[in-house]
Structure 1
């Protein structure tokens, strides 16, 4: 996928609860630091879209994960170090950033064909968002060093699933920058 004006960045769930809050971990902190450096360079070159969990009180998902990222709480907000970068912010209530949101409509309005996706958690929301993109015929590259899971084995497994099931190849942020700038 060659980068052209029909490409964008999609950042998934780099929010307080997933970085330093309830599900926070060092892998997420490291991914956010690297994402900050990458997004500084990309700002103004490609549209940057953030999709963030913003659950309603008593969301059925809480049966699986417990309460987290409740809309209107600090936990559902984008981490402060990344808050200056989004051109667009979408609230999502499900793993897949396409499901029940205006993401597909936004991408079509922007004439986007190619998406660079990264975020937290690779094995849940990033992977499900890749599925959503696949079923809508977008070209995707997952920026693997800007993704995070709770542990490395889940990260490797998820990136492999994305590659096998959707044909989306993982790339490093260096490759993204070379293609985009």
Structure 2
């Protein structure tokens, strides 16, 4: 189990873990909440992902009420897995992520609504090989709120690319999940230290509520 010890906190203190905060407008990014990760018996199943899916439902609803974009990603490959390149060579089980596999569908609890955007990606980051950065700038979003799975994989990769593209990164801790607690906790610590702010979902909801009030005013 990954443990955030006092020695680790002291080592990072004063250099990492500064707060960056919310910007003017945020977009919610829902990363790969598909049945491959949330259905018991599926090859990538993780209970932590199920918990994160459930925790994300009210956040998505609040974001839509506030008029904030909700952007979904999912992974879909050709039958040979060629689109996945070396990623699929490293993790051959990803070849099952094909359009005709029912497990490639979004979890029913967080199915995209008509106004939401759905992007197909072939690698870990939601930015790599997709128009996400351009879309966010056209939407005048300077902040991304990252939800989804896995914390140590696609969420962390997206956080790294987001800050590299000049976006503020917010991660509601309860809304991201992994198949094991140790890499989950390690990735949360790392993202909070270097790439964005890991916050309680209640704090993120408070921000979204303020955005909704501004829209209604």
TM-score normalised over the length of structure 1: 0.91
Count of residue correspondences = 179
Q: Aligned partners of 1:163 and 1:2: how far apart in 2?
A: 14
**Which structure has more helix as a fraction of its residues?**
2
Superposition pairs for residues 61-80 of structure 1, below 5 Å? 61-65=87-91, 66=93, 67-80=95-108
Query: Which residue among 124, 132, 144 is the counterpart of 1:95?
Result: 124
Work out the CA distance in 2 between the residues paired with 1:111 and 1:93.
25
Equivalent residue for 1:159? 188
> 1:58 aligns to what?
80
Q: CA deviation at 1:3?
A: 5.6
Structure 1 gaps, min length 5? none
1:119 to 148, 160, 182: 148
* Residue 179 in structure 1 maps to residue 179 in structure 2: no
Larger radius of gyration: 2
Counterpart pick for 2:36 among 17, 29, 41 = 17
Task: Verify: 1:149 aligned to 2:178, yes or no.
Answer: yes
- Report if the CA contact (8 A) 1:62-1:68 is conserved: no
CA distance, structure 2, for counterparts of residue 136 and residue 18 of structure 1:
28
Seen in structure 2, the aligned counterparts of structure 1 residues 96 and 84 have a Cα distance that, compared at 3 Å, is closer
| Cα distance in 1, alignment partners of residues 90 and 79 from structure 2 | 14
State the 1:135 CA deviation. 1.1
RMSD: 1.6
User: Normalised by the size of structure 2, how large is the TM-score?
Assistant: 0.77
